Amino acid sequence: ALPFCQDLPVPALAAEVPPGSSPPRSELPADWSLKTRLLFTSSQPFTWAEQLKAQEEAQGFAQHCRAAEADLPQCVQEPRVCAELRCAFQQSLVYWLHPSLPWLQLFPRVGADRRMAGKACPWAQDEALQRVLMSEWSVSFTSLYNLLKAKLCPYFYVCTYQFTVLFRAAGLAGSDVITAVISPTTRGLREAMRSEGIEFSLPLVEESRIRKQKNSEVNMETEIVHSPEVGKSTEDGEEPAPSDDDDDEESFSWLEEMGVQDKIKKPDAISIKIRKEKNEVQMDHRPESVVVVKGTNTFTLLNFLINCKSLVAAAGPQAGLPPTLLSPVAFRGATMQTLKARSMNAKARAHLSYEDVFSLEVVGPVMPHSLHLLTLLLRCAQRGAFCAALYTHEPTAVFNTRLEDAGAALGKEAVCRDLSKCGLHPKTLDQLSQFSTLGKSSIRSLEMKDYAYTWKS
């Protein structure tokens, strides 16, 4: 197979980088958020993405199903008549979905009640039908997890009406074990997970705690350095100032004398508990509530989600409707879908005249592999120059949070070997194996100029 696109050298850093943009790079960072819409613009037309022939469409589907690496010449001189480019474009738009209910838009699910209101939902009042739907959904969900564990599926999303879960195979995002990221979460969900024995971490909470601890240590050191009394009191034989804890102990020493200290709760313990619970509730539904589950705990999470009653809405437009499963590869009970794409032409004012601006809009649940494949195609077809606006499904932006113990990304050769049959293009696999660098943000816009990317998050 010919290479996807010739690796061209990145030009030297431009003298001026737009404010808020990254320096030019030959590759984009991994972005694990789901996108609802992409809008590409270029000075070159997108006619190659229009009106695919039946043969090209069929070939694109076949390439996807066989996980075939697209055959593209190193430089596409005439994109409009390049069948390989058009087939690869069709291939990049494919995704797999469960359940499939054509009259309902099943993504996004968070905040979708108004959009779904008034739609026919025959299962809403039919418990027997709800049980059938959930039974089929459980089979599909388990099938996806088994594919992930066998490294035949790189990742998948579970989209509920309250939160989204991203499951990633071992080897991706710098982790050597399966990971699951959940956002947003509530105190109730976290407590239910704890009661089921699921071990998880709150990376942004931990990151905030460490940052505050470091800041307090720096402040303390500064105070000590600038204090005229430094090193005096204890060295002169004076007792150090008592802590709040000491005060509390002395205040309640009379309870010990009466022998009732165990029967009366100290107010400080109660206030600490109330403060902790308040903090837990305050972060509910916020990016800071993101939860990370690793290794064998992800299997326990699978069973927990299958049996979780609150996973499905009990009332409202989404009542009785199982969560949406999204995957880049086929799985049991899945339906093949394609992202909706259309090209447009417009005139834009430039100084004293108007110039042609061409755009390509892609709508749907855009997963990381589709975004990466599309940028690879446009790199070749648009002569290394295009811009893009990326519309993120906000609850999933935090999926770019770096895992706590992810050091240097795993060896490229090892990851490519282990996940060689997961259905991703080798360059996409290489990108997604890197640890996350975007934090709790996602790429909002990008520009390619002279075959080098800059982006804003």
Domain extents in the chain = 35-93+339-401+436-456, 98-203+290-327
pLDDT of residue 8: 46
Mean pLDDT for the chain overall: 84
pLDDT of residue 428: 94
Max mean pLDDT range (84-88, 164-168, 217-221, 419-423): 164-168
**What's the CA angle centered on 176, arms 175 and 181, to 5 degrees?**
45
pLDDT of residue 184: 96
Q: What is the average per-residue pLDDT within 280-307?
A: 92
Considering the entire predicted model, what is its pTM? 0.83
From residue 142, alpha-carbon distances to 160, 328, 333 in Å are 16, 16, 11
Q: What is the average per-residue pLDDT within 206-214?
A: 72
pLDDT of residue 165: 98
pLDDT of residue 265: 56
How many helices (H) and strands (E) in the chain?
Answer: 13, 14
Band of residue 430 on the pLDDT scale cut at 50, 70, 90: very high
Q: Write the pLDDT tens digit of every residue in 84-105.
A: 999 999 999 999 999 999 999 9
Q: Which of 339-343, 403-407, 436-440 has the lowest mean pLDDT?
A: 403-407
Q: Write the pLDDT tens digit of every residue in 10-69.
A: 443 333 455 667 788 889 999 999 999 999 999 999 999 999 999 999 999 999 999 998
Residue 273 pLDDT > 60, yes or no?
Answer: no
Query: Using CA atoms, how far apart are residues 294 and 296, in angstroms rounded to an integer?
Result: 7
Query: Using CA atoms, how far apart are residues 344 and 372, in angstroms rounded to an integer?
Result: 22
pLDDT of residue 276: 57
Q: What is the average per-residue pLDDT within 378-407?
A: 89
Contact 318, 310 (CB under 8 A): no
Q: What is the average per-residue pLDDT within 118-135?
A: 93
Neighbours of 9 (CB within 10 A): 9
